[in-house]
A and B are shown apart, each in its own frame.
Chain A
Amino acid sequence: MIDITINGKGLSVERGVTILEAAGELGVRIPTLCHHEGLPPEGSCRVCTVEIEQRGGKKLVASCMFPITGPIAVETESDRAVRARKFVIGLLLNRNPKAIAINELAKEYGVTPEERFASEPDLCIRCARCVRACEINGTNAIAPAGTGFGRFVSAPYGQEPESCVGCASCAEVCPTGKITYNDTDGARRIWEKTFDLVRCARCGAQYATKEQIARVGTGEEDARFCEKCRRAVFGERFKKS
């Protein structure tokens, strides 16, 4: 165990735990955008920047990725950390003025939009949460494309993504609502591709796409029901036998 302090409060943590996780244990909130607890960290939005003191030197680090391997003193709201955070929030606000998550952070930190540096309003903050979700699902249907300011998330060559199964994990983890999908009777449309939605034989809800069920490898009998009903139906059978 390693002894550290966060904003002066002492804490013992296991080696390798990130600063963000340690702060969570203490109930200290550090704002995040690209971080998602179900996804591997990326460290790209820099909103979770904190200042640490280590071996006599001070520096800024991304708390979502910095592994604690020795005694450190963390300041989550030092002048330097807050200046960095405001800088990043301001830049995002100029480009994503309609994103609710960004506006909330801007309000919290007293950051206002700079009209002079406004660009074509966009909802995507290029956090790549969607890409990482697709990657850990093993689908790899989307990836970052382009470089610099022109970076964007795309299916290969901007065409219908071949490997996409329409699971909508990307939309689920998107922090700004940039990725949307449209479910109609029997069909889901996402990434400009149409998928067949499967209805639960018990409750009638459209619970997954046919492609997703095939990818997960759910058996034919199981796949007739949504996950919730599956438990109920098979539970009943278990009771009878």
Chain B
Amino acid sequence: MKKLAGLDELRDYRLSVTNDGSLEKPHIWVCGGTGCLAWGSADVLAAIQEEIASRKEAVTAGLRCESAGCHGQCERGPLVEITPQKWIYHKVRPSDAGKIIDYALRGDPAEPTADKNSFTSGQTKRVLSRMGRMSPRSIDGYMRLGGYEALERALREMTPEEVTAAVSASNLRGRGGGGFHAGTKWESCRKSQGGVKYVLVNGDEGDPGAFMDRSLMEGDPHSVLEGLIIGGYAVGAAEGYIYVRNEYPQAVANLTLAIDDARSFGLLGENILGTGFNFDIHICRGGGAFVCGESTALMASVEGRPGTPRVKYIRSTERGLWDAPTVLNNVETWANVPRIILNGPEWFKQVGTEGSPGTKIFALVGKVENTGLVEVPMGATLREVIFGIGGGIKKKRPFKAVQTGGPSGGCLPESALETGVDFDTLTEIGSMMGSGGMIVMDDRTCMVDVARYFTGFLEGESCGKCVPCREGLVKMRKILSDIASGKGRPGDVELLADASETLADTALCGLGQSAPNPVLSTIKHFRDEYDEHINEGFCRAGVCQGLFTAAISDACIGCGACLRACPANAVRGEAKRLHAVDARGCIGCGACLDKCPVNAIKAERRSAR
């Protein structure tokens, strides 16, 4: 690779790869994201490449097959996409190689276009627009789809003040959860005194079930780099760090390669493109602590100290990494920056709400038909996301709750489904945006158990520095465990609520301050379930062991699945006849409820103890 010495050389190079004709040629993209790799997509890739090499017509037609970034629908992997038609295929096996190549060369009679799939057509892909249609390991591929044009524009046409002003005008808010205005942060850092400044990427995505940042770092690493370089130029930083979890080996590998490529092209290093701007990026791998997603803990970790937060009465933009002015933004926030610079703040604000413009990527998971990464305009309702794009609840069971914002987000009931999702509305109704986790729960989810699980998770991830979080979460989890095991006492809900409110008010960092959200929101919206557990020893969801009896309704088809699943031999019934549960023998484990294919088994109150 040659080093580009000036802005014109970058422009010429970009145009040469864009116009080399490969965008019009048939191309097969095999998803190389972590999810699809686990499904065996490497074998699919090898099979298709081998088959292409052995078929003359494919070689003549210039058909190529490459590994691409994540489509976000990992559940249906391995995914294959054919461009330029944008046909997507699910669950592709190596044996399908011949068929896929036929489709790419001669067309697919079924034309499985994106529009036929509500999961894809319901989305507004901006940040995810390149995913799956570009090799994340090729800087040419990135430039072919418009990459580094924004950097060129920023360096050629804009002063650092103008870049900052554009980000401010776009009203871009931090996608990592805080929702703080990125422009305000940049402005404050730019104005801070001090020769040395830093820009940081928070890629410490630790929420269970969330993988939007991983996908971006794996599948479109250059967009994060480009945003960071522009940010460094805007605030006057000469160094940037990408803090990425070590549990994301592919993200680390692809980012490392992207940085190396950008450096050899002269997009990083001394005197970038002859403009006199010096900037370089380092990768810092996190050791797996959830709390390191908190800004001050992350900086402590980058500095080589234990990842514990510090009291934040002085902002990081004044005193951050190594006490220098620092801008820390999340992966998705940085990836939005090149698009804002390229298309302008007004374009950015065309979608989304007034207070929260742009799009947001959610990790839609749980008891929903289509799980995966979903990019929608801010303000899309929970119903649109869960029932539109998500295709509704699995097995057609009733919806019960959705938790937004990761482990310390709140659980929202059905009445909140019409809420348009943005930073402010979610906070108003007792949850939060967080980094964009969205866990859907059906009627087989016990809300006490959910609160207990997440409180236990946060108890395990607390760094232990401040008393309220370290000791308070243990107290809360003990109460919740008592309630979930039928040992709850009258007054426990009030005790929990009191501990939750005080903990939120006294904890040192964001982890502790938001940790009581699952408890507070479930008490607010699902108080009945707490009372049933405590006063009646009853878990209506059939989750808490021993707190219910299984009962089979007339809807039973006599398949015998429950009978085979019961560990206590408490189910009676002949094949194809109505089955019944012997209440005296039932131990309330819920094994039969999970197995019934027609939802004919319900959890009922145990008879008087």
Contacts and interface: CB of A to CB of B under 8 A. Distances in A.
A158 B313 CA distance: 34
A75 B473 CA distance: 27
Contacts of A128: 465
A151 interface: yes
Contacts of B471: 91-92, 94-95, 149
Contact of B475 (A117, A126, A146): A117
Given A94-B471, A149-B471, A149-B474, A83 B502 contact: yes
B502 A67 contact: no
B469 to A, nearest CB: 8
A46 B508 contact: yes
B314 A87 contact: no
Interface in B494-533: 499, 502-503, 505-508
Contact of B311 (A47, A65, A88, A151): A65
Contact of A147 (B289, B474, B506, B507): B289
Nearest to A80: B505
Contact of B464 (A45, A83, A147): A147
A83 B500 CA distance: 12
B505 A147 contact: no
Given A46-B508, A49-B506, A87 B499 contact: yes
B460 interface: yes
B313 A61 contact: yes
B464 A146 contact: yes
A60 B507 CA distance: 10
B472 interface: yes
Contacts of A165: none
A61 B467 CA distance: 14
A151 B507 CA distance: 16
B478 A116 contact: yes
B463 A60 contact: no
B69 interface: no
Contacts of B508: 43-44, 46, 62
B468 A91 contact: yes
A213 interface: no
Contacts, number: 99
Interface string B168-179: 000000000000
Contacts of A87: 468, 472, 499, 502-503, 506
B344 interface: no
B301 interface: no
Interface in B559-599: none
B505 to A, nearest CB: 5
A191 interface: no
B466 interface: yes
Contacts of A150: 464
Contacts of A66: 313
B462 interface: yes
A148 B478 contact: no
Contacts of B475: 91, 94, 117
B464 A149 contact: yes
B314 A126 contact: no
A95 B467 CA distance: 11
B188 to A, nearest CB: 15
Contacts of A88: 467-468, 506
B314 A92 contact: no
A148 B467 contact: no
Contact of A92 (B311, B461, B467, B507): B467
Interface string B295-314: 00000000000101011011
B454 to A, nearest CB: 14
Nearest to A33: B467
A109 B310 CA distance: 28
A84 B473 CA distance: 15
Given A67-B314, A91-B468, A149 B462 contact: yes
Contacts of A45: 466-467
B470 interface: yes
A144 interface: yes
A75 to B, nearest CB: 14
A113 to B, nearest CB: 12
Contacts of A95: 471
What size tier do the contact residues of chain A reach? 35 or more
Contacts of B289: 147
Given A67-B314, A94-B475, A148 B506 contact: no
Contact of B502 (A41, A84, A148): A84
A44 B465 contact: yes
A228 to B, nearest CB: 38
Given A62-B311, A94-B475, A148 B503 contact: no
Nearest to B289: A147
A143 interface: yes
Contacts of A116: 478
Q: Which of B463, B471, B508 counts the most A-chain CB atoms under 10 A from its CB?
A: B471
Contact of B505 (A47, A84, A92, A125): A84
Given A67-B313, A87-B502, A87-B506, A44 B467 contact: yes
B406 to A, nearest CB: 18
B506 A46 contact: yes
Q: Which of A61, A95, A117, A150 counts the most B-chain CB atoms under 10 A from its CB?
A: A117
Interface string A149-183: 11100000000000000000000000000000000
B459 interface: yes
Interface string B443-482: 0000000000000000111111111101111110010000
A95 B475 CA distance: 11
B346 to A, nearest CB: 32
Given A80-B505, A91-B475, A117-B478, A126 B468 contact: no
A62 B308 CA distance: 17
Interface in A134-148: 143-144, 146-148
A2 B289 CA distance: 40
Q: Which of B460, B461, B475 counts the most A-chain CB atoms under 10 A from its CB?
A: B475
Contact of A46 (B468, B474, B478): B468
Nearest to A145: B306
Interface in A99-152: 116-117, 119, 125-126, 128, 143-144, 146-151
Given A87-B503, A94-B475, A148 B468 contact: no
A209 B505 CA distance: 45
Contacts of B310: 43
Contacts of A126: 464-465, 467, 470
Q: Which of B308, B463, B470 counts the most A-chain CB atoms under 10 A from its CB?
A: B470
A148 B313 contact: no
A144 B306 contact: yes
Contacts of A42: 465
A42 B465 CA distance: 9
B463 A148 contact: yes
A122 to B, nearest CB: 11
A46 B466 contact: yes
B311 A148 contact: no
A94 B502 CA distance: 17
B467 A46 contact: yes
A151 B464 CA distance: 6
A92 B475 CA distance: 11
B462 A148 contact: yes
6 contacts: A87-B468, A117-B478, A126-B465, A149-B459, A149-B471, A149-B474
In the A-B complex, the 7 residue pairs with the smallest Cβ-Cβ separation, listed nearest first, are A151-B464, A91-B471, A43-B311, A148-B462, A87-B502, A84-B506, A148-B464
Given A60-B505, A87-B499, A126-B464, 10 more contacts: A43-B466, A44-B467, A62-B508, A65-B311, A83-B502, A88-B467, A95-B471, A146-B464, A147-B461, A149-B464
